[in-house]
Amino acid sequence: MSDAPLLKDTERTTGRSALQNNIQAAMALAGAVRSTLGPRGLDKLLIDDDGRTLVTNDGVTVLESAKVEHPVARMMINASSVQDKIARDGTTSTVLLSAEMLQNAWHLVTQDVHPAVIARGFRMAETYVHEILDKLTIESKKEHRLLATRTSLAGKGHHSMQVLLSQLAVEAAEAIHVSTPDGKIADPTRVKILPQSGGSINDTQLVTGLVLAKNRIHEDMPRNVGAGKILLVDGGIERRSMNSDMNLKVTSPGVLESFRAKEVELLVEQVEHVKSLGIKLLACKEGIDDEARILLAESGIQAFRRVARSDLDLLARGCGATLVSEVKRAQASDLGAFISSKNEKWAGVSHWIVETEEGGATLIACGSTETVVGEVERCFADALGVACRMIEDNRLLAGGGATHVALARKLRRYAESIPGREQLGIEAFADALEVIPRVLAENSGLDPIDTLLQLVAEQVNGGEHSHHLGLDVVERKPVNAVEKGVLEPYLITRQSIAGATEAAISILRIDDVLWAKQDPSMPETAQME
């Protein structure tokens, strides 16, 4: 039976042609971020539809900002996004590794090696790599975590910014981590970033507690409050407006006064309920009426209004409180606890600082322009993510391509023990791992082939810790990466290899691509005679 009528509006590519097109798309995507890898990597200028510009060398930012329609390219961008979500670094490496695996696989396909056999070889190689990685790790101390965090910022901004942000990121991760029966957990979402344009990057600082650009709603309220209970309201204490189009005809002056008196009475009832809960601190998402402000001030309660919902959520997590929709519905079980609450003025702007029992911190991101502040925010977010992951898993690996070269060497010896054609897939996997040191050398102005050969030779003759020998792009020669402080978190490298392998195998197994030229439509109904 012919499939021509069924696929008349569909462009179909099969076999090697489909695979070749998919690999070309993958290589094109890798080419877009190739030059951003490493401390000598270059930046990309991104321009959106509204003409806004962004200068960055963050791989996942570049890829997610690009308008890509090819499905294979989208698969690789998704792999990069997952890498960013899990490890916060290694996004460019993931794309480069996956594209290199596919390119090496294509060479084998042209030699009549079946893609399914290559895929099995890749899977065997990945399993072996994960076993070897566990043996190449080093236990980290705080100073090692600081160096690894700084390595993750290599190529992003100038050196002084890298040093400052990596230090602040490690301090923030230490401040927010909690111990559980399953180990330590550090959630980077518990660190708020407060942007402030003007000044210098060096003015960027980390403040213990949650900082909001808010001032207490009445001058008679206490400026500083000690430990106590806090109530969070996903609403306000205001006069209720009538949601109706009806008109009221007032026949007596006393009627209007009674309306107003009733409104005040309702406000008083809400404030009295707040007082009965014994709280010292009140934060509302919406407004607080003037009469209520006076009453709260007389009660010694520090109150804030128009607090963003995101900030209320952070306060709830830090204080162990529950957001209530209305004040009168609040119960003692909804309250949270805080250590201190104070108001301070920075650069003429009032700030509210809350220190909570569950920890938390705020980065005051400073820069001369909004563009600079934005870059500080992105760099700190990446560094914080890496620092938090190292709190949860403190294992480290040598950077500068050292680990990838060591894995490639061990994989080639492992391939010799495999009798079938899967051996070719394992060797192709090993060759792909070496793309990392090659691109590092290329972006540093070095010859990639000569540099790689020199690095391999140094590891072969390097003795017990030969797997620590990586490329120093500053000295332009192989050095002991651990001694130089060029370190990478174990999780980043492991996830990068795993994500790249999954993407490569998924693309490799595609042998038929169908492009629909138009959306399917319902067939026309035949007219009855």
SS3 403: helix
The pLDDT of residue 523 is 41
Residues 6+ apart with CB under 8 A from 153: 161, 162, 165, 166, 379, 382, 383
CA distance 59 to 66: 11
Tell which CATH architecture fits domain 10-139+397-516. Orthogonal Bundle (1.10)
Q: Let me know: does 281 contact 300? Beta carbons within 8 Å.
A: no
CA distance 393 to 184: 8
Ordered DSSP codes for 54-111: EEE--HHHHHHHS----HHHHHHHHHHHHHHHHHSS-HHHHHHHHHHHHHHHHHHHTT
Number of other CB atoms surrounding residue 5 within 10 Å:
7
What are the residue boundaries of the structural domains of the chain, listed by start? 10-139+397-516, 159-207+365-393, 210-358
Q: What's the fold here for domain 210-358?
A: GroEL (3.50.7)
Burial, 41: exposed, middle or buried (Cβ in 10 Å; 0-12, 13-18, 19+)? Answer: buried
CA 62 from chain center: how many Å? 14
End-to-end alpha-carbon separation of the chain, Å? 31
Beta bridge partners of residue 13, listed in sequence order: 513
Which of 269, 264, 303 lies closest to 287, judged by CA? 303
Which residues are known to be catalytic?
58, 91-92, 382
123-135 exposure pattern, b = at least 16 Cβ within 10 A, e = fewer:
bbbbebbeebbee
What are the strands, taking DSSP E only, across 198-278?
205-208, 210-212, 224-225, 228-233
Q: Let me know: does 93 contact 437? Beta carbons within 8 Å.
A: no
529 residues of the chain, pLDDT tens digit each: 445 455 566 677 888 888 999 999 999 999 999 999 999 999 888 888 888 888 888 888 888 888 888 889 999 999 999 998 888 788 999 999 999 999 999 999 999 999 999 999 999 999 999 999 999 998 777 788 899 999 999 888 788 899 999 999 999 998 888 888 888 888 898 899 999 887 889 999 999 889 998 999 999 999 999 999 999 999 999 876 655 555 656 666 665 566 677 778 888 899 999 999 999 999 999 999 988 999 999 999 999 999 999 999 999 988 999 999 999 899 999 999 999 999 988 777 888 999 987 778 999 999 988 888 988 998 999 899 899 989 988 899 999 999 999 999 999 999 999 999 999 999 999 999 999 999 999 999 999 999 999 999 999 998 888 999 999 988 999 999 999 999 999 999 999 999 999 999 999 999 888 776 554 443 443 343 3
* Helix axes of 142-152 and 370-392: crossing angle, nearest 10 degrees: 140
CA distance 34 to 21: 20
Task: Indicate the DSSP class of residue 288.
Answer: B
Burial, 311: exposed, middle or buried (Cβ in 10 Å; 0-12, 13-18, 19+)? Answer: buried
According to the CATH classification, is domain 159-207+365-393 in 3.40.50.10490? no
What pTM was computed for the model?
A: 0.83
CA distance 503 to 126: 13
SS3 363: strand
Beta bridge partners of residue 11, listed in sequence order: 515
